[in-house]
Every structure is written in structure tokens, then in C-alpha cells.
Amino acid sequence: MRRLAVVCIALLAVPAGVLAQEWNSAGLPDRVINAPKTNAAAAPTRDISGIWDAGGIGIAGPGHESPPWTEWGKEKAAGYKPGNGPRAVYENDINDPLSTVCDPTGFPRQVLYETRPFQIVQTSNQVLILYMFERRWRIIWTDGRALPKDPDPRWYGYSVGHWEDDTTFVVNTIGTDERSWLDNAGNPHSADLKVEERYHRVNHDLMELTVTLDDPKAYTRPWTPRNKMPLTLAPANFDMMEMICSPTEVMEFRKNINDRTNNK
């Protein structure tokens, strides 16, 4: 009994963070996401590394309200049958390449939809972003190289980053693959899309993400679907769940649910 008491006292003395070494975390609790962070320590210099979580706001299930499409954008969007937003169709008519056949999320959809927890790693010449959603990653070059001229499209494009000041990291991306959608509302983009991401670390615990899209082929003006989206720093021992679109699982879901919801 005495030994048990000693063990209990020792356990109580261990910092809570050590006890909280759990596997498979779905995300930070809402109370942590929503807690004010005004009393946090100052932001470190030129450091956005760590695991960040936007909470529910990162999911953006219904999609984003865009400026008007161009004629090209209208034609492209007409072929997209989204499952959400103002143009939502019946479930078994959806042709979203991500949710129906598990095409890659692509960029910038990766930061506009299901922006679940992600980890930023900084090396001497790159910033790596490891996303929980789809278990994808991006490489952002910080070695001073220029963006490529006339690149072959890639699902995640070509990204370079620089520090605008000691707490703001700016990423510019081109060369994305226009087969990916922007969001669940079926907003399209062209291969000419230019994306700017601004990661502004407000203090130690809080970062804001702003994403601006400039795609004159598809939209009548640039727009900012993410405007200072708050991100909360997760503990360093946060182990992310997997959240992957598996074609096997999607087929099972369609067979049991989607394909039986036909309303025609």
C-alpha cells in the first residue's frame, strides 16, 4: 500500500504533457482551439515549425464563396458535380475526383479543404509541410531559387518560400494540375493559377494563414478564400491519425450508401 502511494505521488508530479503521450490524435480539443492565446510567449524568430491545428474551421465542408468565374471558368465548373455548396447534386451524381475515386487532393485544395492538423519542418534549404489529411506532404524551397518557367503541371505544384519579416513566411506556388478542384463546391482552377500563402506567427501558440488565389483564366479577380485562419500550436508529442481516401473503402461506401440513394 505504501509503495502504491509513492507511485501515485510520483505520477502526480509528472508534468501533464508527459502523461499525454497518446497515439492517434484526431485533433486538439475545441476548448484548446478556442481558448484565447493573447498571453502566450512571443513568436520565435523565423520559426514556424511545429504541429498546427485549425480545428473545425479548417474543414470548410461547404466550400468557399468565389468571385465570378470567367467564361472558361464557367465551362470548367459546368462539368463539376459537387457534393456540397450551392450547386450540390444528389450523392450518387457527385463526380468530385477526390471523394469518388481518391485522386490526390492537390494544391491548393490541400489548404482550402480538410485542413486538419499538419506539421511544419524547417531544414537549411526547405520547409516541409506534412498533412494529416491524405497523409500528403509538400516541399517549399527556401534556397533562393526562382519558380520554374513553363513547368509541367504537378498535383502539388512548385513552391518557393521566403521570410517577409521575422514572423511571416510567404510561399508562392505555380504549376498546379487543373484536374484538382479548389473545394467541395466545385470551384475550378486553371494551370495558370498563382497561389500565395502567408504564415504569420502571431505569438508562440498562434499562427494565421492567409491564402490568395490569382487565376485570371478562371476568375474575374484575385480572391482570398483563407483570410487569417487561426492555427493553434499542438504539443510536440501530438501523434496524428491517418485520414486517407482509400479506393477500397470508397467503393464499399458507395455500394452501401451512395449508390442506393438515387432519387431518380
Partner 1 sequence: MKVRFVGLIVLVLTVLVIAPVAAHHGTASFDTSKDLTLKGTVTEWIWANPHCFLKFDAMDDTGTVRNWAVEVSNPTDMTKRGWARSSFKVGDMVTVNLQPVKNGAPIGRLRTVALPDGSSLTAMGPPPAAPGAVAP
Interaction residues for partner 1, span 32-51 (CB under 8 A): 32, 34-36
Query: Whole-angstrom Cα distance, residue 212 to residue 202?
Result: 19
Q: How many residues at the interface with partner 1, by CB under 8 A?
A: 44
Q: Count H helices and E strands in the chain, helices first.
A: 7, 9
The answer, yes or no, to whether the previous bond of 68 is cis (omega within 30 of 0) is no
Interaction residues for partner 1, span 78-137 (CB under 8 A): 83-85, 88-92, 94, 96, 99, 114, 116, 132
Query: Whole-angstrom Cα distance, residue 139 to residue 129?
Result: 7
Alpha-carbon distances of 142 from 127, 146, 157, 161, 169, rounded to whole Å: 7, 10, 15, 5, 10
Options 7, 11, 20, 30; binder of partner 1; rule CB under 8 A: 30
Residues contacting 255, CB < 8 A, separation 6+ = none
Query: Whole-angstrom Cα distance, residue 117 to residue 52?
Result: 5
Interaction residues for partner 1, span 139-168 (CB under 8 A): none
Q: What is the nearest approach in angstroms of partner 1 to the Cβ of residue 225?
A: 16
Q: What is the nearest approach in angstroms of partner 1 to the Cβ of residue 139?
A: 25
Q: Is 250 in the site for partner 1 (CB under 8 A)?
A: yes
**Interacting residues toward partner 1 by CB under 8 A:** 24, 26-27, 29-32, 34-36, 56, 59, 61-62, 83-85, 88-92, 94, 96, 99, 114, 116, 132, 184, 241, 243-246, 249-250, 252-253, 256-257, 260-263
